[in-house]
Amino acid sequence: MRHILTLIADRQSTSLSAAMIRRVGEAINGGDPTILSEGEAADIPIEDAPDAIALQEALDNAPVDWIVTKTRGRRKGLLVADMDSTIVTSETLDELAAYAGVQAEITAITKLSMNGELDFSEALRRRVAMLRGLSLDALQQTWDKTELMPGAKELIATMRKHNALTALVSGGFTFFTGKVAELVGFDRHHANVLIDDGQALTGEVGEPILDRDAKKAALLRMAEERGLKLAATLAVGDGANDLAMLAVAGLGVAYHAKPIVAREARARIDHGNLRALLFAQGYPDSAFVTA
């Protein structure tokens, strides 16, 4: 068959039972399933894209994600990932703002930007300006409280083992992407630069700003560098500034995304963690690398 439907359950809330897999298979005229992770993920071969309504009825609104991919070329040679609320659980700029006493104001601007209601570059300049005079110690204090998204290390270690290039491309800041890249194992990281005077932030950000167009350009550049067709690329993110790269990637995944992103992306993960991106490429859990 030409396509694969991958089911991924949120193991914190439910289990992907044999009965559930059977119901889905019958509803979409699927072939024999392959279990990728017992109770968590399964592949079902299908000929054409499934009827979403019939699929959801078969799942009975359980917290189970589903992604459709072509049978051929499922494993990708390039991964480009957003950082905030994707590879880490927080918005690092919003957390940094708490030390300047302006978290509520900055969080409100972040929300507008991530929902596509405010130009990203404008929003970033406004937020960084509000941090003028903030001691550089606050950057380390913010980092000390930053947590990785479940499955992040497995995702990167497994793809790198299979010779994929992995890049963290963020509208955030190099102070954090450098640390995340080192901790998780990304090959590369790209982000914006906070300007300081050696003791405190100046309220400025380096130009040009890494925005949605720059994220897309980074994916295109790295794919060309590796000699990869776009079909062999994977992108993941949650905000409006990720939409351009999600649109051009062979597999663009909206991860626990803002409404505008969830609506426009071709694939989405609403319930599971980052392990889902490996299952969507056909990796069984026995092939996962635990970093």
Span 7-58, pLDDT tens digits: 999 999 999 999 999 999 999 999 999 999 999 999 999 998 888 888 989 9
What does the alpha-carbon distance between residue 105 and residue 121 come to, in Å, rounded to a whole number? 17
Q: Please give the pLDDT value at position 75.
A: 98
- Residue position matching structure tokens 């399964």: 42
**84 included as an active-site residue:** yes
Catalytic residue among 10, 65, 84, 94: 84
**213 included as an active-site residue:** no
Percent of residues, the chain, with pLDDT higher than 90: 96
For residue 213, pLDDT over 90 is answered with: yes
DSSP secondary-structure letter at 135?
A: B
Q: Which CATH superfamily is domain 1-72 in?
A: ACT domain (3.30.70.260)
Catalytic residue among 10, 43, 65, 82: 82
- Kindly state the tokens that stand for 160: 């790198």
- List the chain domain ranges: 1-72
For residue 166, pLDDT over 70 is answered with: yes
Give residues with Cβ within 8 angstroms of 11, minimum separation 6: 39, 40, 272
Closest listed residue to residue 170, CA positions, set 81, 102, 105: 81
C-beta separation of 239 from 261 below 8 A:
yes
- Kindly state the tokens that stand for 34: 């392959």
C-beta separation of 8 from 41 below 8 A:
yes
